[in-house]
Amino acid sequence: MTRIKNSLTLKIISLLLLADISESAGELFFKKAVMQTGVDHVVILNFISFLLNLMATPSLWFGILIYTANFILWMAVLSRLDLSIAFPISNATFVIIPFFSMIVLHEKISMVRWLGAVCIIIGVTLISRSPEKSSQTP
């Protein structure tokens, strides 16, 4: 049985969106776990105690669980879409993660930084473009 590859159906868009959201949630849990260790700045002297404290935080394990789910979602996306199509769409995390950092972690983000995020999305999209493949597309 053959399946039409690279068609952006509602199901695939939902999978991509879920992959983006799960990646963002995973990162938020990681940051929360790091904050819960109580370590301000990791240096060589407190490195081991930082890692031990980190492993004792439930947020770290939630983050790892969500990241595992994200990996499965991403593999499901890649089995249906070429990387050159899926990758630029996944770059939305450069906006989604700062947005949720602002809402959930109360981080401050200036307009200049948002502009930086837009430049990065454009840049990463250009880098991940595959000129050879796109010229073959009918």
Partner 1 sequence: MNIAAFFLLFLHELCSTAEQLAFKKAADRLADHKLSTLRDVITFAWETLKIPLVWLGFILVLGAWIFWFALLTYVDLNVAILVDSLQYILIFLVSGLVLKEQIPWTRMLGAAFVMLGVFLALKG
Residue 54 makes contact with partner 1 by CB under 8 A: yes
Residue 88 makes contact with partner 1 by CB under 8 A: no
Whether the CB-CB separation of 104 and 55 falls below 8 Å is answered with no
Q: Which of 17, 69, 89, 117 binds partner 1 (CB under 8 A)?
A: 117
User: What 3-state class would DSSP assign to 45?
Assistant: coil
Nearer to partner 1 by C-beta: 1 or 10?
A: 1
User: What 3-state class would DSSP assign to 4?
Assistant: coil
Q: By CB under 8 A, how many residues form the interface with partner 1?
A: 47
Quote helix, strand, coil % in the chain, to nearest 5.
Answer: 75, 0, 25
DSSP 110: -
Give the residues lining the site for partner 1 (CB under 8 A). 27-28, 30-31, 33-34, 37, 39-43, 47, 50-51, 54, 93-94, 97-98, 101-102, 105, 107-129, 131
